[in-house]
Amino acid sequence: MRQELKSLKEITQPIFEDIKLFEQEFRNALRSEVRLINLVGKYIIRHKGKHIRPVLTILASRVCSQPTINSYRAAAMIELLHLATLIHDDVVDGAMKRRGWFSINRIWGNKLAVLMGDFVLSKSLIYMIKLKDFDILDLISKTAELMSSGEILQLDYRYKKRPSEKIYFNLIRQKTASLIATGCKLGALTTSKSKQDCKFMSSYGYNLGMAYQIRDDLFDLLGNESYTGKDKGIDVKKNTLTLPIIHSIQSLSKSESRSLLKLVKMKQKTKDALTEIMQLVKKGNGFDYAQEKIDHYTQSAIESLSPYPDSIYKNSMINLARFNRTRVH
């Protein structure tokens, strides 16, 4: 039976008051005695994202038990860590836009952007210490290491002659799924502390994180810039090999595979080259294959919640997984 898809606003409605408490912690974290930090901080808050990771921390805490003050602090910490990586990523990638607005490096330059990323990262560390929980400290430290390793692996991967799905899935596990899994696990660690809850929430977050990144990969080739807030084809222009392209290289004929790989490896890609890449990926069934993987990970995420009784919070987590499957930005 076809499920009615809900909007993100509808999905997060049950934790509306919880989100306000998180946002207060988040705003406080971006305050400083330094004028320029406050200026950039206000710009960040004004052009905030969907806050998926802290939303998941709060929802997980509601499914496992009742949120504590540490649940809201953990939600702020996870979003600060995510924000720091985004600011640094935009510098590394030379990105001009973020969420449809000029990136920090575009407005204030790379030097200030790197320093602001460092400031936000330091704030996430302060929040981590505030939690006074060694298990959380250990979890966040390992997650930060995975994310950094994933970003470096992605840089190295651009120069590989033959793409590999195995390397790709390991890469997105490290750079994307690890943080989302951690966000969910924090919901358990700041409430019930049950090993079973930690296991189920980590599984949900991992699978959702994998589906989330593959969905982003589809946006790079198929997304509408007015929705995604990013330049179309930016990953392709950076020679980043995403799942639709990897699968197509493996499934096309040898000559077509070589052509696609050659086009992807081009340093300067014209509009015609990008159009040809799109055509070859479509012919190689790359888009459909990526969607099949999204569906697989989405279903696995939902199944991870099966041990829990029905509740509005569990339903929100299920609907969030379904929302990701078809989101347009």
- For 73-82, what is each residue's pLDDT tens digit? 999 999 999 9
Q: What is the pLDDT of residue 227?
A: 45
- 89-100 confidence digits (pLDDT tens): 999 888 898 888
Q: What is the pLDDT of residue 1?
A: 39
129-144 burial, b if ≥16 CB within 10 A, otherwise e? Answer: eebebeebeebbeebb
- 252-277 confidence digits (pLDDT tens): 999 999 999 899 888 888 889 989 99
Using left for φ > 0, alpha for ψ between -120 and 50, and beta otherwise, residue 233 falls in: left
Say if residue 225's pLDDT is above 70. no
- 271-289 confidence digits (pLDDT tens): 899 899 999 999 999 999 9
- The pTM (predicted TM-score) of the whole model is 0.93
Say if residue 226's pLDDT is above 50. no
Q: What is the pLDDT of residue 4?
A: 62
Please give the share of the chain, as a percent, with pLDDT higher than 70: 94
pLDDT, averaged across the chain: 92
Which residues, other chains included, contact 296 with Cβ-Cβ below 8 Å and sequence gap of 6+?
none
The structural domains of the chain, with segments of one domain joined by +, span 8-326
Say if residue 26's pLDDT is above 80. yes
Question: What 3 state SS string does the chain have?
Answer: CCCCCCCHHHHHHHHHHHHHHHHHHHHHHCCCCCHHHHHHHHHHHHCCCCCHHHHHHHHHHHHHCCCCHHHHHHHHHHHHHHHHHHHHHHHHHCCCEECCEECHHHHHCHHHHHHHHHHHHHHHHHHHHHCCCHHHHHHHHHHHHHHHHHHHHHHHHCCCCCCCHHHHHHHHHHHHHHHHHHHHHHHHHCCCCCHHHHHHHHHHHHHHHHHHHHHHHHHHHHCCHHHHCCCCCHHHHCCCCCHHHHHHHHHCCHHHHHHHHHHHHCCCCCHHHHHHHHHHHHHCCHHHHHHHHHHHHHHHHHHHCCCCCCCHHHHHHHHHHHHHHHCCC
Higher pLDDT residue, 271 or 131? 131
Q: What is the pLDDT of residue 238?
A: 76
- 2-25 confidence digits (pLDDT tens): 456 789 999 999 999 999 999 999
Q: What is the pLDDT of residue 266?
A: 86
Q: Which fold has domain 8-326?
A: Farnesyl Diphosphate Synthase (1.10.600)
